[in-house]
Structure 1
Amino acid sequence: MTTSISRRHVLVSAAALTAAPLLSAAPGTSPPARSVDARPLARRHLGTLEVSCLGLGVQNMSRTYQTTVPSRPQMLAIIRAAFDQGVSFFDAAEAYGPLEVERILGEGVAPFRDHVVIATKFGWNIDPQTGVRNPGLNSRPEHIKQAVEGMLTRLRTDRIDLLYQHRVDPQVPIEDVAGAVQDLMTQGKVLHWGLSEMGLGTLHRAHAVTPLSAVQSEYSMLWRGPEDAVLSTCEALGIGFVPWSPLGVGFLTGAIDAQTRFADGDIRKLESRFAPENLPLNLKLLALLIAWAAQKQSTPAQIALAWLMAQKPWIVPIPGTTQLPHMLENLGSASVQFSDHELNEFNHALSAIQIHGARLPETVMVYSDVEAPLKK
């Protein structure tokens, strides 16, 4: 597929911005100086937690979807360039790597740790010392506390700003999970917490014990499931929402066309929405993005992210990337605005497009929308 708007054809004279050196900051000092060309990003609130309107997901910085291992110095440069451009919100998890992504993020933000928000996640059955991933989930309170100790070491910090349960453990009452997190909050090791891909009943129960700041779940034009009930529940409870995969694992950037095929080990090979029979049908969505990108003098990725931010003022996308130009392009979405009329027009066209295929393999989907057992 050829378009007049390439994923990489962006305003990336900004690549030169990374030449501005970052100064280390001690606690209580001003943030390191940013590039004079950098535009400050607007701020949003996840509950009472203030973050930049866009974050940076670092999941693939130890291994990409294409199964390659990125250059560590380049990943550190992207993290530091993101901060230089106003990003204050960085998202990781112990499961990414496992463990290695937290090490990369900890090293990357070390010069300005006190000026950013670090989010990470527990919940998979991972040995906190070795990173060995055992079957299933583990949110037993004692395991959560062990996991957090490992996170603090890898992230080179004394507290986690936002700690999520990555997936709901069907063997552990959410009240016990919330209680363990509250203990960590009392100790100052965790400041805010949230849930990911949980059932709505579990969300209400968790919030009643230890109020949440954020919910993180997949949400984009390619998957609009949270619009059914999750977003309205978050709004009613005063909880922020963090969309993961806001660019549809690359689809909404224009990097995938009808001839794209995925390597073994790339999860997209197992997602039926990207199957050869469904991919050409789903390109109708990309055509809509390309048309609006031309109208807005932007890129498909920027339209996709701007659309998400236009839905609610407490939605904060966390697009991930391992390429500096893509990170800079993504941040450009903060300057793309929709009028009420434009948003209505766009949503009307979007509602007419049917997405074919499932968002995840069934073996992964079984971990979403799970309700924790009742506490006896």
Structure 2
Amino acid sequence: MIRDQDVLKRLQETVRRFVRERLLPAESRVENDDSIPAELVQEMRELGLFGMSIPEEYGGLGLTMEEEVTIALELGYTSPAFRSVIGTNNGIGSQGIIVDGTPEQRAHWLPRMARGEVIGSFALTEPDVGSDAASIKTRAKREDDHYLITGTKRYITNAPSADVFTLMARTGGAGADGITAFLVPSDSPGLTLGPIDKKMGQRGTRTCDVILENCRVSKDSVIGGVEGRGFKTAMKVLNRGRLHIAAVCVGAAHRLCDESVAFARNRVQFGKPIAEHQLVQAMLADMGTETFAGHCIVIESARRFDAGQRIIQEAASAKLFCSEMVGRAADRAVQIHGGAGYMQDSPVEHFYRDVRLFRIYEGTSQIQQIIIAREMIAD
């Protein structure tokens, strides 16, 4: 459901040029500094990338799902850290406000998110709560016209630079129905941040604990103004997020294919380029085939999303297949590069570490399998 092919093509070409001319040359700098250069973040603002999925009425680009994954395929071609900067503004950091927020909440937060003036973050995971999201322990107690929130959130993406958190806390009893979604400004009294996490990969993507000790927020910070809808709000935006991540995985796999083909054509062993050796060709063929399959499943699922179809199974399938697929592509890329692929100055080395996270966040592969099987059985 692409609305204007010419406009989308121009945007796609602009992003592709930005990725290749500005982001690829900065990858080693991000690896060394563990941060995204401020000038590149500003360029992302100017391109409108912080508001890709935010409706036009709030200053965003208002992309359809198919349009969004088309751009995500381009962004996935470079280090995932670059996409992560804008990821929460386009994903669950803003989508909860879009689907369930009050008119006042949308008018206050969305325009600033779309311009990149405000960085949104999503705070659900806790030290003892990951895949079982309905079991969160952070509590919010109502007192007059405000709430006091106490608990700890863990591995929160963009937390060190976030201006507002879409934060899940328990206002009722056990289970999903007791969870409420809050918009918590980062400067709220009682909110502090833990040390920045040191991760295996995705350097430049900043995560840390968010610690709340009687953190005071207004009653107007409840998304939609209704308690007990937080878990449902989170579930509503998962399909879009899973398709976006799947597209990023395909973009990364495309990059790994290109790097591997280029290396194989130039690396000579036994008197000829290794691209002419059949066992190397087999690895390249598997990478190319699976990348193409991932591209197809993402585009088809996005089209069904835009058509208003129920795509819980399709979105989970796309996330499962593409995140697993790019892991296999990264492994083959390192194998094709041999010893050179194990060196830190090789682009495939950091992708090997970076893409591992895709099988864990936004729902692990095992959670996706459970969702897919439940949908199949229900059908």
TM-score (norm 2): 0.32
Higher helix share: 2
Instruction: Name which structure has the greater RCO, CA cutoff 8 Å, separation 6+.
Output: 1
TM-score (norm 1): 0.32
Bigger Rg, structure 1 or 2: 2
